[in-house]
Structure 1
Amino acid sequence: MRTTGTTFLGVGLVSTAVVAGGVAGLAFSFRNLPDVRGLTSYVPAQTSYIYDAKGRELLSLHGEEHRKIVPLAEISPNLKRAVLAIEDSNFYKHQGINPNSIGRALLVNFKSGGVSEGASTLSMQLVKNIYLSQKRVFTRKLAEAVLAIRVEQVFDKDQILDMYLNYIYWGHNNYGIQTAAESYFKKSAADLDLAESAMLAGMIQAPEAYSPFNNFAAAKERQEVVLDRMVSIGWITPAEAEAAKKNPSRTSWVNPLLGKTANCPTLPMQL
């Protein structure tokens, strides 16, 4: 495993937690954290499909998580860039945590007397969703940082991005980018254009609130935030952003609740 300056920074954050949260926070952070090497064999829940004799899909069966895992190479570059732009534009530069963002969040949280602002990198979001409680407490944020550093010592960046895009929630029981692309745009994740990608990337922060199916105006506003962010960091041109904003993507919207999917949390009983 690599020993890096970021690792030492993570240790420094642990020390800060001891001062702010006491010995209990330190014990939680180290003794009870899982071994991230288990992710090498981890496979999240996926949807099962039933086909007719001609190979046509008749039905999809899943519990809470409607998911199809796809390789990173089969995900649109538009989507990858949009997600990174709005969620973690320094993803390929940091080693699990973003010191500047964490410092800013610590200051805001200290002033507010609680945990009111996050500073999560993609790696931190990944370990939070797989391993940790969603409750916003200081010890959880500390655990995210420690686990994220460990994840980056075991996996390369593309592996982490692959896991992230295939794991996270995109609203309406869609987990992972493939089912999100199919449900919202009736296409593969590989074929998402810039406008569609920006809208999906914008949903990550609050999938139900920014769902175009629930509130298209809010989804559209959030999409434009993503596109403006991509322009500000030089990943697309202003002209590309304006074209995407004018893209009538709403016409291709598919109600995820009216498709052929059957939500079967007790599958053996259903069959």
Structure 2
Amino acid sequence: MNIQDFRYYHDLVKEKSYTKTAKKFGVSQPTITAAINRLEEQFGGQFLIRDQSHKSIIITHLGMQFDEHIQTILKEIEIAKLEIQRNSASKISFGLPPIIGQNYFPKLVPELLHTGILKNLEVIEAGSNDLIDLLIHGEINFSLLGLTDPNLAFGIDAKIIAHYPLRIIVAKNHPWASREGLYFRELADQDFIGLSSNYIHNQLLTQMLKQNQININTIYRSPDVAVVKSLVAKNLGISYLTSLAIDENDQVVALPLLDSNQPDFILAAVSRQNHLMTSKEEQLWNILSKQAVN
């Protein structure tokens, strides 16, 4: 069985043109035809119908189903290549969102340093949503993540470490600063300073906005949590942050929400289930997940 035949087939299904497919791979059209014939013979089905009168290709239902399997196979092959390259380089690609990197990861550094794993980490900093995509596509195998739901995509193992409540942060001279808490609906039409779209906070915020059927006036978004807190401290607006991102040195007041039904920021250690770990990776996973509550 020739993997290249799979590549020819998938591209032909996508382009629906023998000419374009042959040109892309730098081969002749008969080469593509021979590959399709081999696949149909090997698997015992008709995948394509070539309409000579209209010079077009019709993909049969069986052919479309077969292409779904081909895409999975080709994706796994690419993931395998990435894993082999990383293993030969003795590096461990590790995803780390900014908030978790600043406020939780430092607790793990002494043990990572002691075990010699820290020097092997190739840290990729990005928002949790972006890191989930990298995990799904096999570009990283491990990450700490902020989640709204621990049930991730198929093939991803998540170990919940902690739940952190969400807080409304306001300036120390804001009218709400002396309050002990507030209801989310009170945010209606307030000037709001938010985080960039790749932060999990936006999903939590959207959930609460829909639940309370209100709107807020977002005046600015930043990829930097420190910038958000700084702007809030200047009383330019309010924001919505996990308590993990707030400490006593911040010049803001963090107010708890009084709503009975509200989401948490879930801190989790995650890994790809079908990844065969090296001894160093097993050590890393044990360190990441040993505080897990599930």
Scaled by the length of structure 1, the TM-score of the pair is: 0.25
Q: TM-score, normalization: structure 2?
A: 0.24
Specify which structure has the bigger relative contact order, considering alpha-carbon pairs within 8 angstroms and separated by 6 or more residues.
1
Greater share of residues in helix? 1
Larger radius of gyration: 2
